[in-house]
Amino acid sequence: MRKNFSAADLDDAREDALPWTPMLALPVSEKTKIRQSLSSSDLKAMGQIHSVDIYMYLFRLKCKTRKLRLDTRRQSYAEWRAGIGKYHSKDSICEVDNNFKGVPTDEDVSRINNSLKWIREELTKMREQDEDLARQFLTIHSEIQKLKLEWSWQFHELTLQDAAMDLQEVDEIKRISDLPLASETETSLVDLGLTKLNLCHRKYSVL
């Protein structure tokens, strides 16, 4: 199995303190973690591959990832960790004070009040951001509805103009010909809920 790894992969594994382990010798818990990290599509795609080859491939992928110094975490997770990291300091109220005797000191009360103040400020900012987003969404929704109404009006206007011209042509042909004429205007207008009589009188009603 060692032949399947390049010298760079093995050197990188040694530098990163990753001991080379035969794939069959991996503990069951490690194999379970690797399998759980795969999606159903990945497992389906690798269903025909031998289990040893799968773990060898994942081991090589891990070596390459560390060699290229790629971040396997999502960017949002990294930003979230960096954001909460700046709020953790030596003065954090979450730290255990071995000298605490059950009576909070003025410093403890001040620290708790500052923390509560910060929480209230953050909640206020979040509420303001939510309200801004809600207003933006309502504005976008209103604009979309206006565009839909305008497009629908233009479509119906063009349809009515075409139907009126078609009816005029049919009437002119009927004056000089006794043959029955089949027109698609009536069926197209019925689909829109309009009748021929109302169309001729410029009064439209829903059927």
Q: Which has the closest alpha carbon to 199: 158, 159, 160?
A: 160
Element (H, E) at 62: helix 51-67
Average pLDDT over the chain, rounded to an integer: 69
Q: For the segment 96-150, what is each residue's pLDDT rounded down to a tens digit?
A: 555 656 677 888 888 889 999 999 999 999 999 999 999 999 999 999 999 999 9
SS3 state at 37 = coil
Q: Does the predicted model carry a pTM greater than 0.85?
A: no
pLDDT at 82 exceeding the cut of 50: yes
pLDDT at 47 exceeding the cut of 80: no
Report the amino acid identity of residue 50: H
- Report whether 17 contacts 39 (CB < 8 A): no
- Report whether 173 contacts 161 (CB < 8 A): no
Question: Tokens representing 55?
Answer: 């773990």
SS3 state at 17 = coil
Q: For the segment 126-139, what is each residue's pLDDT rounded down to a tens digit?
A: 999 999 999 999 99
- Rounded to 5°, the CA angle 6-7-8 comes to 90
Report the amino acid identity of residue 146: K
Which whole-number Å values give the CA distances from 141 to 49, 151, 153, 155, in the listed order?
50, 15, 18, 21
What is the number of other CB atoms lying within 10 angstroms of the CB of residue 198?
15
Question: Tokens representing 100?
Answer: 């605490």
Distance CA 12, CA 67 (A): 6
